[in-house]
Amino acid sequence: MKNFKITIWLAWLVLVILWNYGYPEASPFLDITVTVMLSLLNLVLIKLKKK
């Protein structure tokens, strides 16, 4: 389970970095919104794995 959490966290980090470099003109509000959405997806994936 620990390796899964690390893998999910690394995937989240890569997606956040890709978002920031892919859309540099995005507003700070949009940056935070996308980061929070990706974080929630991260939590959902971890909960689904526990079941």
Distance CA 2, CA 16 (A): 21
- Residue-range definition of the domain harbouring residue 12: 2-50
pTM of the model: 0.77
Distance CA 51, CA 41 (A): 16
Segment 1-13 shows an average pLDDT of 87
* Element (DSSP H or E) covering residue 8: helix 2-22
Look at the chain and report how many structural domains it folds into.
1
Q: Which amino acid is at 16?
A: V
pLDDT in tens, 12-43: 999 999 999 999 999 999 999 999 999 999 98
Distance CA 15, CA 17 (A): 5
Helix and strand numbers, DSSP H then E, in the chain: 2, 0
